[in-house]
């Protein structure tokens, strides 16, 4: 196989060299000026390193961009699985404990007509907002059971090396793991001190902040590249009170 590839390269180089000689021969037969042909050849030869540099840099840039796009497609597939298995439900449950969540849900009531400026506006709203989480001790056992039950799934995501290069999503995973550890470290939530309650709320707020931002970016990705998936994701929007997967005729 390697011998065949080598011979193909030899034939290609030989054919290109023969074409070049033929073209120079045609030039000489028409104009008959060997000195001008020699000067033109040396001039092109002098610029050859520059041509190689330009072509190499452009080719390398094209390859890097294609590789980046390929990696991002794979990452978004993994992120989609994350939200299907864990993120959407966690987002819905945590949003119920955001103080003043009505405004947040109103801002993130996505429709199929959302455009780039709508997603940008939602991200800017999150950047300017300072959400406060207030989750009481009665809700913590259920949250602990759900999040701890997904530990193996979250660990499996870390096996994807490409995912670890996604810094923001990695921060989300770290925040989720830390919250799971904090919840599992407490056998009971019946007698939490105010400071401990505040500490847990702070950990959950960190998870929610990373989660809501990554969710908007993922929804934007679906809108741009997979409209049919975006349609279902809008109907199952975890930020609305009663998600409904059914399609109704207007």
Specify whether 104 is located in the same domain as 223.
Answer: yes
Amino acid 176: pLDDT: 95
Each residue's pLDDT tens digit, 159-204:
887 777 778 899 999 999 999 999 999 988 988 898 999 999 999 9
DSSP, res 85: I
In a domain, 241, yes or no: no
Question: For 25, how many CA atoms within 13 A lie in the half-sphere containing its CB?
Answer: 6
Specify whether 10 is located in the same domain as 132.
Answer: no
Q: How far is CA 76 from the centre of its chain?
A: 5
The whole-model pTM stands at 0.75
In a domain, 14, yes or no: yes
Which H or E element spans position 104?
Answer: helix 101-107
Specify whether 43 is located in the same domain as 140.
Answer: no
Amino acid 166: pLDDT: 79
Amino acid 27: pLDDT: 62
Specify whether 127 is located in the same domain as 229.
Answer: yes
Amino acid 163: pLDDT: 76
Q: Residue 114 sits in which domain range?
A: 72-235
Angle at which helix 194-225 crosses helix 88-95, to 10 degrees, equals 130
Each residue's pLDDT tens digit, 147-160:
999 999 999 988 88
Specify whether 152 is located in the same domain as 227.
Answer: yes
Domain boundary among 62, 81, 113: 62
Confidence check: pLDDT of 13 > 70? no
Amino acid 44: pLDDT: 67
Distance between start and end Cα atoms, the chain: 61
Which residue intervals of 165-193 are DSSP H helices?
A: 167-184
Separation of alpha carbons 94 and 211, rounded Å: 10
How many domains would you assign to the chain? Answer: 2
């Amino acid at each position: 196989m390697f011998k065949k590839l080598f011979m193909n390269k030899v034939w290609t180089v030989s054919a290109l060299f023969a074409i070049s000689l033929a073209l120079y021969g045609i030039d000489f037969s028409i104009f008959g000026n060997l000195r001008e042909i020699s000067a033109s050849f040396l001039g092109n030869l002098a610029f050859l390193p520059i041509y190689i540099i330009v072509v190499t840099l452009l080719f390398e840039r094209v390859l890097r961009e294609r590789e980046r796009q390929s990696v991002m497609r794979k990452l978004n597939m993994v992120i989609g699985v994350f939200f299907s298995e864990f993120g959407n439900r966690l987002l819905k449950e945590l949003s119920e404990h955001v103080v003043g969540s009505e405004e947040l849900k109103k801002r993130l009531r996505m429709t199929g007509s959302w455009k780039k400026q709508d997603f940008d506006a939602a991200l800017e709203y999150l950047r300017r907002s300072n959400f406060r989480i207030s989750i009481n001790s009665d809700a913590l056992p259920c949250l602990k059971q759900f999040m701890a039950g997904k530990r193996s799934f979250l660990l499996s995501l870390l096996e994807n090396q490409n995912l670890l290069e996604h810094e923001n999503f990695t921060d989300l995973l770290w925040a989720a793991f830390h919250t799971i550890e904090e919840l599992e470290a407490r056998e009971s939530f019946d007698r939490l001190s105010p400071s401990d309650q505040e500490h847990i709320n702070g950990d959950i707020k960190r998870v929610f902040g990373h989660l809501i931002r990554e969710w908007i970016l993922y929804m934007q990705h679906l809108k741009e590249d997979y409209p049919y998936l975006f349609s279902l994701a809008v109907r199952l929007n975890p930020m609305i009170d009663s998600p409904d997967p059914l399609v109704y005729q207007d």
